[in-house]
């Protein structure tokens, strides 16, 4: 695969080759150079997913990162879920329900339940979040130099 990252705030795009495999446990493994992440997908609908990245090399506070994923044809776009980009009323509700905890300025959220991640990913899928940093994965073209 080729993984290209960018942002709705910028026209710059950076691309790198990425290998994708499935582990014996059934998890996906995404690798770019020497970095490897374990990835889980939860289907929201036919094209949308809540996605968990597990960086087992990080400490517990930063080990897991969550994304909304959308499949379009052969490509998969992954958008990191940012607490401060979600609608504030949604974050307040998830905190009230015990699904999220936040820091004082709502910049960082910690997931307390899988259902909170699903709700947050659905908010992205519904277009309720305008600012997005993304990674788009597409199959590499055989024989094409990277």
Mean pLDDT, the chain, integer: 90
Domain ranges in the chain are: 2-138
Between CA 39 and CA 21 the distance in angstroms is 10
Region 57-68: mean pLDDT is 78
Say whether pLDDT at 145 is over 50. Answer: no
pLDDT at 58: 58
How confident is the model at residue 11, as a pLDDT?
80
Residue 60 CB-density burial (10 A; 0-12 exposed, 13-18 middle, 19+ buried)? exposed
Q: For the segment 79-113, what is each residue's pLDDT rounded down to a tens digit?
A: 999 998 999 999 999 999 999 999 988 888 899 99
Indicate the pLDDT class of residue 60, thresholds 50, 70 and 90: low
Residue 105 · residue 46 · CB < 8 Å: no
Alpha-helical (H) ranges within the chain are 88-96, 114-125
Q: Between residues 31 and 145, which one has the greater pLDDT?
A: 31
Q: Is 120 helix (H, G, I), strand (E, B) or coil?
A: helix
């Amino acid at each position: 695969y080729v993984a290209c990252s960018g942002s709705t705030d910028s026209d710059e795009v950076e691309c790198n080759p990425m290998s994708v495999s499935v582990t014996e446990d059934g998890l996906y493994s995404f690798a770019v150079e020497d970095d490897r992440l374990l990835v889980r997908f939860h289907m929201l609908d036919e094209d949308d997913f809540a996605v968990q990245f597990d960086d087992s090399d990080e400490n517990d506070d930063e080990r897991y990162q969550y994304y909304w994923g959308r499949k379009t044809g052969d490509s998969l776009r992954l958008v990191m879920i940012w607490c401060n980009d979600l609608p504030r009323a949604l974050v307040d509700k998830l905190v009230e329900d015990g699904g999220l905890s936040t820091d004082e300025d709502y910049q960082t959220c910690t997931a307390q339940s899988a259902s909170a991640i699903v709700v947050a990913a659905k908010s992205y899928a519904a277009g309720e979040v305008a600012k997005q940093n993304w990674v788009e994965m597409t199959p590499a073209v055989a024989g094409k130099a990277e």
